[in-house]
Amino acid sequence: MEDRKKRAMVMACTLCALMCATWGPGAGAAQPTLSTADRLRMLYAPQLSFTAAGDPLIRLGLLEDVRSAKFTPNEPIRVLPNGEGGPEVELPGGKTYTVSISKAKPGEYTYWVVIDRLPVDQRGRAGDVKNRWLQRGHIPERFEVGGLFAVRGQVFDSRTILFAVGGTKSRKKARELQTKMRAKYGIEGGLHSQLVTHPEGLITLEGAGVDATVRHRDILQISPLSGREDEIRYTIPGIKKNYKEGTMTRTYTGSLIFTPDRGGDLVVINSLGAEKVLKGVVPAEIYASSPQPALQAQAIAARNEIFSAVGVRNLADPYMLRADVMDQVYGGVGVEDPRTSKAVDATRGQVMFFGKQIIEAFYSSNAGGFTENNENVWAMEPRAYLRGRPDADMSKVPVAFRDGIDEDELDAFLTDGFDAHSKGAPVSSSKLFRWTREVTPDKPSKWLRDAGYKVGKLKNVEVLSRGVSGRVVQLKVTGSKGSAVIERELNVRRLFGGLRSGLFLVDIEKNSRGYITNLKFRGAGFGHGVGMCQTGAVGMAADGKTAAQILNHYYKGVEVKGLY
Does position 384 have pLDDT exceeding 50, yes or no? yes
> pLDDT digit string (tens) for 512-554?
999 999 999 999 999 999 999 999 999 999 999 999 999 999 9
Those residues whose C-beta lies under 8 Å from the C-beta of residue 239, and which sit 6 or more positions away, are 62, 63, 247, 248, 249, 250
Quote the CA–CA distance of 99 and 421 in Å, as a whole number: 50
Q: Under DSSP, is residue 3 helix (H, G, I), strand (E, B) or coil?
A: helix
Quote the CA–CA distance of 393 and 413 in Å, as a whole number: 16
Measuring CA to CA, which residue among 105, 110, 102, 269 is closest to residue 199?
105
Percent residues over pLDDT 90 in the chain: 77
- Range list of β-strands (E), 325-449: 350-354, 357-358, 363-364, 434-439
CB 440 within 8 A of CB 554: no
Q: Name the segment(s) of the chain with CATH classification 3.30.70.
A: 108-197
Quote the CA–CA distance of 478 and 457 in Å, as a whole number: 8
> pLDDT digit string (tens) for 263-286?
999 999 999 999 999 999 999 999
Does position 296 have pLDDT exceeding 60, yes or no? yes
* H helices present in 347-422, as ranges: 374-377, 410-415
Query: What pTM was estimated for this model as a whole?
Result: 0.88
Give the pLDDT confidence score for residue 381 in this predicted structure: 83
Binned at pLDDT 50, 70 and 90, residue 510 comes out as: very high
Using H for helix, E for strand and C for coil, what is the string for 120-182?
HHHHHHHHHHHHHHHHCCCCCEEEEECCEEEECCEEEECCEEEEEEEEECCHHHHHHHHHHHH
Kindly compute the dihedral angle of the four CA atoms of residues 212, 216, 218, 222, in this order, to the nearest 10 degrees: -50
Average pLDDT for the chain: 91
Between the alpha carbon of residue 90 and those of residues 12, 13, 215, the distances in Å are: 6, 10, 14
Does position 165 have pLDDT exceeding 60, yes or no? yes
Q: Would residue 398 be called left, alpha or beta, if left means φ above 0 and alpha means ψ between -120 and 50 degrees? A: beta
Q: What's the CATH class of domain 108-197? A: alpha beta
Those residues whose C-beta lies under 8 Å from the C-beta of residue 106, and which sit 6 or more positions away, are 199, 262, 263, 264
Give the pLDDT confidence score for residue 29 in this predicted structure: 38
The mean per-residue pLDDT over the stretch 315-340 comes to 94
